[in-house]
Amino acid sequence: MKGWILAAAGLLAAVAPAGAQEGADDLLSKIVNSPAPASYRVDGARASVRNDDTVQGGKALRIPVAGKSDKSWTTSIASAIGKPVKKGDALILAFWAKLTKGEAGVASASLPFNGVQLAADPYTPVFSGAVTIGPEWKMYEVKGRADRDYQAGMLNATLHLATGKQTIDVGPVFVLNVGQ
């Protein structure tokens, strides 16, 4: 748990407004998913959890992506949101990622969909955003608001990874519900 408290404290420093006095314990109460890489569902690849002291939390999920697809979700990870979300709640998806190996020496990878969506068909997005990852660990952030009430388990945080033949490491993935 200590690693996740440190990761949450790092997240707090990155996403809290300047001057916010909120502590890590309060931030932990806002996390609505499991940030542990071992808890993610992986589709379209054989991923492995590895120790990595250079990322917050000390663990990363290594995902070898076979190649580019016009359906970027063919290789993806999902983290279940286990708490209810109310209409109008502000949500923050924050995740650590890096490109470990790019196609033909490419140093960055565009990930077109990183967001919160329904956990079952039709997988409708609540919100999403694109990011470009590089060879160094970095925390990425995508924000949105819930368009309606969702029961616990109805939503996932999802990252679509099939944008090239590449290896991507993903560290902690946090979804925070910061309320109205």
Above 80 in pLDDT, residue 18? no
Above 60 in pLDDT, residue 16? no
Kindly report the average pLDDT of the chain as a whole number.
Answer: 89
Q: So what's the pLDDT on residue 1?
A: 41
**Do residues 170 and 140 lie in contact, with contact meaning Cβ atoms separated by under 8 Å?**
no
**Do residues 155 and 126 lie in contact, with contact meaning Cβ atoms separated by under 8 Å?**
yes
Q: So what's the pLDDT on residue 19?
A: 45
31-179 has which fold? Jelly Rolls (2.60.120)
Q: So what's the pLDDT on residue 105?
A: 79
Give the start-to-end residue ranges of the domains of the chain: 31-179
Residue 3 burial class via C-beta count within 10 angstroms: exposed 0-12, middle 13-18, buried 19 and up: middle
**Do residues 140 and 133 lie in contact, with contact meaning Cβ atoms separated by under 8 Å?**
yes
Task: State pLDDT tens for residues 19-60.
Answer: 444 555 577 789 999 999 999 999 999 999 999 999 988 999
Above 70 in pLDDT, residue 4? no
**What is the pTM for the complete model shown?**
0.87
Token digits of residue 32? 């609505």
Q: Give φ, ψ of 7 to 5 degrees.
A: -65, -40
Rounded distance between C-alpha atoms, residue 154 and residue 86, angstroms? 12
Q: So what's the pLDDT on residue 180?
A: 87
